[in-house]
Amino acid sequence: MPLLQPYATQSARMRSRRYAEKPSGASNEHRSDFQRDRDRIVHSTAFRRLVYKTQVFLNHEGDLFRTRMTHSLEVAQLSRSMARALGLDEDLVEAMALAHDLGHTPFGHAGQDALNAALRELSPGHGGFEHNLQSLRMVDSLEERYPDFDGLNLTLATREGILKHCSAKDALRLEASEPGGVAHRFLAKEQPSLEAQLVNLADEMAYNAHDIDDGIRSGLIEMEALRELALFERFHSSVLSEYPDLQGRRLLSEIIRRLLSAQVFDVIDQTRKRIAERGIQTEEDVRQAPALVSFSPELAKQVQHIKSWLFKHLYRHPQVIAKMDEAQSMVRELFASYLAHPNKLPEAYSRQADLPRAIADYIAGMTDRFAEMKWRELQAE
Ligand code: MG
């Protein structure tokens, strides 16, 4: 196993779990705490459902597009390779990466926006719906796998990596139920671990790259148009100068491969540099310093251009918007109809004290096609 740097996550605090567990005998000897987290996530119900959840393109629009599952695997791959180079915990970044999108609703951001609006209209103080918090809720309470506790009982480190953002209000609420726990860093204004910072950046790298790939495959954007982006153009011309006849998928794949490699090398160099400059020695130093995992300023600017470009030309493409509008109404109608007829919910949800939250949990857990099937059933009645 590659050597961990002293600033990698390893403290007893970060390895702690909310519920004490009986020693599990032999399995303790060959699996670290973070390997066990990773294994629990892979075996969870929420993880399996990611395969039928939309990333950008609706799941049924084609079998070749990324889903939440393949996106999460790509984030895990990028995270592991950068973690290894930086001497960080590979199992921990893998656990975080595989769990980071567990709270996503069906139909991507459209589903989240619809649930958020529905909850807020019902009661403005209710807290709404936010996928990061829902990912945490999924691993903390909604998964039913163990006899002694709800959720997966993951380590604090993995949970902290899952909770990437959190409003002050939510942080206070979480802190009240778990003092010094997963939301503490938002109140103390500290950074999360290097592993959490790394996965956050790998997420962005993965979706920029695969959305270019899926966007071109879908026909909604064109490779020629992407050449107005300096970073894309740089690799477009370097690939063509080496392989003048290359075109189509192979050309695109080679450009994307180089685009990702350049980002990976840049992050590794830049992060090493910042760690050295700040004299970072320990996990605690990491928490007190400004964010350490980052692109170099020059690359950060170019990556930001890609993001804005994709936002304008792909995520806001009229065809994507039309699908998303449809998906939003479907989720809104599902929510309204369960609220009016709670008897249509599975019993585990209908008997919850907070019915709107239970409905949101139920809908958020659905895959795209299951949500659509339920919507059709309710329409037919
Ligand atoms: Mg993601």
DSSP of 191-231: ---HHHHHHHHHHHHHHHHHHHHHHHHHTSS-HHHHTTSHH
Least confident interval from 4-13, 33-42, 123-132 = 123-132
71 C-alpha to center of ligand 1: Å?
Answer: 7
pLDDT category of residue 372 using cuts at 50, 70 and 90: very high
In this prediction, residue 80 carries a pLDDT of 98
- Chain-centroid distance of CA 217 in Å reads 23
Arithmetic mean of pLDDT, 317-327 = 90
Instruction: Answer yes or no: is pLDDT of 346 > 70.
Output: yes
In this prediction, residue 28 carries a pLDDT of 56
201 C-alpha to center of ligand 1: Å?
Answer: 10
Instruction: Answer yes or no: is pLDDT of 59 > 60.
Output: no
230 C-alpha to center of ligand 1: Å?
Answer: 25
pLDDT digits (tens, 9 = 90+) for 204-251: 999 999 999 999 988 899 999 999 999 999 999 999 999 999 999 999
CA 150 → CA 87, 141, 147, distances in Å? 33, 5, 8
Measure the CA–CA gap between 237 and 233, rounded to whole angstroms.
6
Which domains are present in the chain?
Answer: 31-377 (1.10.3210.10)
In this prediction, residue 113 carries a pLDDT of 94
Q: How many helices (H) and strands (E) does the chain have?
A: 21, 0
380 C-alpha to center of ligand 1: Å?
Answer: 35
pLDDT digits (tens, 9 = 90+) for 115-130: 999 999 988 777 899 9
In this prediction, residue 10 carries a pLDDT of 95
Structure token pair of residue 283: 């996990």
100 C-alpha to center of ligand 1: Å?
Answer: 6
In this prediction, residue 58 carries a pLDDT of 61
29 C-alpha to center of ligand 1: Å?
Answer: 32
**At how many degrees (to 10) do helices 248-277 and 68-86 cross?**
40
In this prediction, residue 123 carries a pLDDT of 82
103 C-alpha to center of ligand 1: Å?
Answer: 10
Count of beta carbons in the 10 Å neighbourhood of residue 131: 23
Residues 6 or more apart from 366 whose CB is under 8 A from it?
49, 105, 106, 374
CA 140, 76, 165, 367 torsion-angle sign: negative
322 C-alpha to center of ligand 1: Å?
Answer: 22
Q: Name the residue with higher pLDDT: 338 or 53.
A: 338
Mean pLDDT of the chain: 93
pLDDT category of residue 60 using cuts at 50, 70 and 90: low
Q: Name the residue with higher pLDDT: 99 or 109.
A: 99
238 C-alpha to center of ligand 1: Å?
Answer: 29
